[in-house]
Amino acid sequence: MKVIDKKTWKIRRCANPIDYQAGHSRVVLCIHGFTGYPGEMAYPAKRLSVAGWDVRVPRITGHGTCGEDFCRTGVPDWRRQITDEWMNLSSRYNEVGVLGHSMGGLLSLDLAINYPVSGIAVMAPAIGFRKPGLSFLKLISLFVERRPFLWEPDPAYSFFDDRDDDDDEYLGSEYWSWTWFKPLVSLMKLQSETERRLKGISAPVLAIFGENDTIIGNNGREVLESGLNSAFKGIELPGCGHYIPYDPNPGSKEAAMDAVIEWFER
């Protein structure tokens, strides 16, 4: 008889889901990034709420807890969860928009291929990601779970969520101090699949990129422009890096959300 592992992990305070429910007829589903947590989308969620939208920011499974939890998950879990979130919201609201950052942007595009999403905005989406050595990830993942990665907290970044003082340090030690091979392989597989199926998206797409994004790069804009049949608008933020929803570059996150709100209001 198979033993079911019922082990649970504590969810960090900053990783709790964010909900703004004011009884509006429209809602935005916000999706955070790879090894991220809902608090990363706290500023976009607040801006959307003030603009007259209900907002839902779920914690993607395996995130915001610990590395052991994270390495047991992958794209199949994340896709199923986001689909469930969208179906639940679409049964309760007249209009459901989707806003995703990084991996969340990729999951947003994947969702729109399979379901009639009202509109999409993506920030630094994990698409068009090309770096030497990625082809070896699958082989490495068969033998190595993770590899140390240099990470240090950066005081330039501000937080806009509800959190404990040690949340950033804890998540840094559990997630950002490692390269996780199996989840990365799973993510790259979804990227390739999504790029091949972009023509299946009927919703209008807004894509925002950071000029100085050294993590994902800006190839995604060309991929989306050439692959989409639906309405598309691409924006590049000068001086901005990858972490658009909370980037420390003055004015970047504000400009990004101005564009997102205008896009959804259309």
pTM of the full structure: 0.94
Residues of the chain with pLDDT under 70: 1-7, 131-135
> What is the maximum alpha-carbon separation in the chain?
58
Predicted confidence (pLDDT) per residue in 71-120, tens digit: 989 999 999 999 999 999 999 999 999 999 999 999 999 999 999 999 99
Q: How many CB atoms lie within 10 A of CB 225?
A: 12
Residue 15 forms part of a structural domain: no
Rounded CA gap, 43 and 160, in Å?
A: 6
- Stretch (H or E) spanning 98: strand 95-101
Give start and end residues of each alpha helix (H) in the chain.
Answer: 42-50, 67-70, 75-90, 103-114, 137-141, 167-171, 181-196, 219-227, 252-265
Residue 18 forms part of a structural domain: no
Query: What contacts 46, CB < 8 A, 6 or more positions away?
Result: 20, 160
Q: How many domains does the chain have?
A: 1
Residue 121 has a pLDDT of 98
Residue 27 has a pLDDT of 98
Residue 11 forms part of a structural domain: no
Parent domain of 31: 23-265
The residue count for the chain: 266
Residue 202 forms part of a structural domain: yes
Rounded CA gap, 38 and 30, in Å?
A: 8
Q: How many CB atoms lie within 10 A of CB 207?
A: 25
CATH code for position 57: 3.40.50.1820
Residue 76 has a pLDDT of 93
